[in-house]
Amino acid sequence: MPSRRMIILGGLGTAGALVVGYALWPSHRLERADKLDAKSGERFVANWIKISPDNSVTVVVPHCDMGTGIFTALPQMAAEELDADWSTVKVEAAPSDTLFANGALAEGFILTGRHMTADQLPAFLRGTVANTFRTIAGFMNLQVTGGSSAVRATGVYGMRVAGAAAREMLVKAAAARWNVATDECTTKSNHVMHAASGRSLGYGELAAEAAAYTPSSTPTLKPKSAYTLVGKPIPRVDIPKKVDGTTNYGLDVKVPGMSYAAIKISRVFGGKLKAVSVGDVLKMRGVQKIVQLEDAVVVVADRFWRARDAVASLNPVFDNGANGGVTSAQITARRTAALKSSDLKSDLKTGSGADALSGGRIVEATYQVPYLSHAPMEPMNATALYKDGKLEVWSGTQDGLGARAQCAKTAKLDMANVTYHLMPMGGGFGRRLPGFFNFLDYAVQTAMAMPGTPVKLLFTREEDMQHDYYRPNVMSRFRAALDAKGMPVAWTNDYTTDGGADEQAHIDYGIPNQDVRYAKVPTHVPTGPWRSVEASWHGFFIESFVDELAHAANMDPVAYRLQLLDEKPRHAEVIRQAAARAGWGTPMPNGKARGIAMFESFETIVAHVVEIEVAPDGTLKVDRVVSAVDCGSAVNPDGLKAQIEGGIIYGLSAALFGEITIDKGAVMQQSFPDYDVVRLAQCPQIEVHIVESGAALGGAGEPGTPPIAPAVANAIFAATGIRVRELPLKNASLAAARPQSARL
């Protein structure tokens, strides 16, 4: 359990004080880190930073590699403060050990969520609370990669501070050796220099002596004007191996003597295995064992396709309970009824709330989005070996330490008896976060049924898609009162949720009277975080309705939004930039139009202008997306642009095609033929423009997704006069005459 001291200091952070962040590493922790993760000659000088005798620097990243570019951006931040020569910088993933629990991430989650700044905490508390965050992270087994948090949390509260602290330690070591004052020394390109005497020492020569000093919790950080690495489009360090095919993903793991496992899980969520007739399956070529689990049956064989064919030939009987007749229509009906009930709970109320609706012309609309699968290119998989009371696991997840803890729990072993090898991932999007490790549970249970044999369990694409943790099917109802000029004086929003109140439902627009309520409608369908989480649906809901208000007021959608953002200059500037770059307002041919949407998530503001074409037969084509992004400052501009582009394509796939439907309690979709994604030929031209505001750093991996669906829907209305309020767009009939007055 957390100590009273931890709770008090954690409460201090949430009360509004800043805890500036560095998990202090006294010498005994550095010694343990050296034993755990330092190669011959290497030495940890500070948290996350190793220095070798050859003067090379290794940055240890407490995150996973799932293609987001953080294995470049985070080392950039550390190397900048360290004054390292980038050509000597290497990057490694941190071991799945509590010593490398990400205290900076815990700190960042609390502080960025509270919009705190670095001068809000008394100096005497900083080191103490930094230690508390490290303790919390260890207690929580925290090495998460998600929530667009790596740069804005680990980078700000970990990497920058670690680099600066290491630099100070190296300077102290050099000054002591030369018997000079530290302020007479400078650093550059992996060297400490003493200009007065012309002497210079490489970091590698000083590492051992530097490690004897205690890292500062409040080292002096560089001003932005002194940056030489941060802000530069440095090529990503992970790309070459991914291009030449030498990156080893979980699917690529090979262990001597390895067997392969295929699984058949209850089609209905929550179903339990009652019986399975083995028949002659054990006689099939290569089949080694049939493992019966609580809700699944697994076949282990010497080749995966033999295991797959064998498990497909089984006809297990599952007890589907009360969920065997559930359909999507029934779930939708429950959500509709919830919005009409009197049991809605208050989320937010300002001014007179809903009472102000009586003061103007009413506009109302209801929107809905379906369940969505994550559908990463690499299906779920894990390799596990249980031998002599110890467990070893290889898999790609979004939390190596959390995955190790989950494997230990499943195996009923102490974590000291579990080794976890964190592999790069072919996509995550939230599917591989803690709490959603069903594939690890199945792999560990299967391996324990075959002690001494390493077993690689793979989900087929069908099992992967039909046993996901889906983005929820949710609804949202809006009503607004417009004054004589068409501007909203009241805004109400009732929405359904699988959880509780959702801050992403709160708007940035200056509307004086607001009333936001929610209804929790749980179902048997498992749900989980999906790229940009709640922002992905509230972005569609809110920005579609704002567009409806603009048209109801007979105003230009850009001008309308800007008028509502007088007190939000950053948001307004992002809209201006996107509109200007896209040529908003210039004429377009018949059947073509533009739409705009803006949304803030993960401390980053994004606006998309989309250009679309609707053919006379209703065929939709998305031609161009122009995006403006304010994440404060871009650590790696190319990396930021790539993440926004990826978020656009991911969100566009969902907007156009994404739909998971339920019948007889089970998912109907199986693979990409019936769960389509944007193909290369369908990909629009994308332009991303960075707006440097100098605000606190925001995330990049997810904020590009929320505005894309509403921008497309708003463009469709401008082109056809048809307002789409339910996704995916493939289900909308767009074959209608386009009103000439709607051209944008």
Q: Is 180 helix (H, G, I), strand (E, B) or coil?
A: coil
Backbone angles phi, psi at 472, to 5 degrees: -65, 155
Average pLDDT over residues 208-231: 93
Do 4-234 and 531-742 have matching folds?
yes
CA 337/CA 519 separation, integer angstroms: 10
Write the pLDDT tens digit of every residue in 338-379: 999 988 999 999 999 999 999 789 999 999 999 999 999 999
Write the pLDDT tens digit of every residue in 547-560: 999 999 999 999 99
pLDDT of residue 11: 29
Residue 117: band (very low, low, confident or very high) from pLDDT cuts 50, 70, 90:
very low
pLDDT of residue 537: 98
pLDDT of residue 183: 97
Nearest Cα neighbor of 435 from 144, 147, 699 is: 144
CA 325/CA 2 separation, integer angstroms: 44
Q: Does CATH number 3.20.20.150 belong to domain 252-321+380-458?
A: no
Q: Is the pLDDT of residue 131 over 50?
A: yes
Residue 521: band (very low, low, confident or very high) from pLDDT cuts 50, 70, 90:
very high
* 199-208, 251-260, 693-702, 730-739: least confidently modelled range: 730-739
Residue 132: band (very low, low, confident or very high) from pLDDT cuts 50, 70, 90:
low
pLDDT of residue 680: 95
pLDDT of residue 547: 98
Beta-sheet strand order (sheet of 199-202): 185-188, 191-194, 199-202
Q: Is the pLDDT of residue 14 over 50?
A: no
Residue 125: band (very low, low, confident or very high) from pLDDT cuts 50, 70, 90:
very low
Average pLDDT over residues 292-300: 98
CB 546 within 8 A of CB 509: yes
CB 36 within 8 A of CB 61: no
CB 318 within 8 A of CB 273: yes
- Report the C-alpha dihedral over residues 733, 734, 737, 741, rounded to 10 degrees: 130
| Buried residues in 21-34 as b, exposed as e (16+ CB within 10 A) | bbbbbeeebbeebe
Average pLDDT over residues 244-253: 97
pLDDT of residue 47: 77
* 15-19, 118-122, 486-490: least confidently modelled range: 15-19
CB 566 within 8 A of CB 510: yes
Average pLDDT over residues 8-35: 44
The first and second tokens of residue 591, run together, are 């059947």
**CA triple 295-301-303, angle to 5 deg:** 120
Residue 744: band (very low, low, confident or very high) from pLDDT cuts 50, 70, 90:
low
CA 631/CA 701 separation, integer angstroms: 11
CA 382/CA 523 separation, integer angstroms: 28
pLDDT of residue 172: 97
- Whole-number percent of the chain with pLDDT over 90: 83
Q: Is the pLDDT of residue 381 over 50?
A: yes
Reported residue count of the chain is 744
CATH (residue range 4-234): 3.30.365.10
Domains of the chain: which residue ranges? 4-234, 252-321+380-458, 531-742
Backbone angles phi, psi at 625, to 5 degrees: -130, 125
Cα 382 to Cα 255, 291, 425, 531: the distances in Å are 12, 16, 11, 22
pLDDT of residue 103: 76
Average pLDDT over residues 468-493: 98
Residue 102: band (very low, low, confident or very high) from pLDDT cuts 50, 70, 90:
confident
Backbone angles phi, psi at 540, to 5 degrees: -65, -45
Average pLDDT, the chain: 91
Residue 22: band (very low, low, confident or very high) from pLDDT cuts 50, 70, 90:
very low
CB 510 within 8 A of CB 567: yes
- Whole-number percent of the chain with pLDDT over 70: 90
CA 142/CA 659 separation, integer angstroms: 32
All residues at 6 or more sequence positions from 134 whose CB lies less than 8 Å from its CB, including other chains: 23, 24, 101, 103, 106
Average pLDDT over residues 311-322: 94
Strand runs (DSSP E) across 16-127, as ranges?
43-46, 49-51, 57-61, 89-93
pLDDT of residue 462: 98
CATH (residue range 531-742): 3.30.365.10
The first and second tokens of residue 536, run together, are 């992905």
pLDDT of residue 45: 82
Q: Is the pLDDT of residue 108 over 80?
A: no
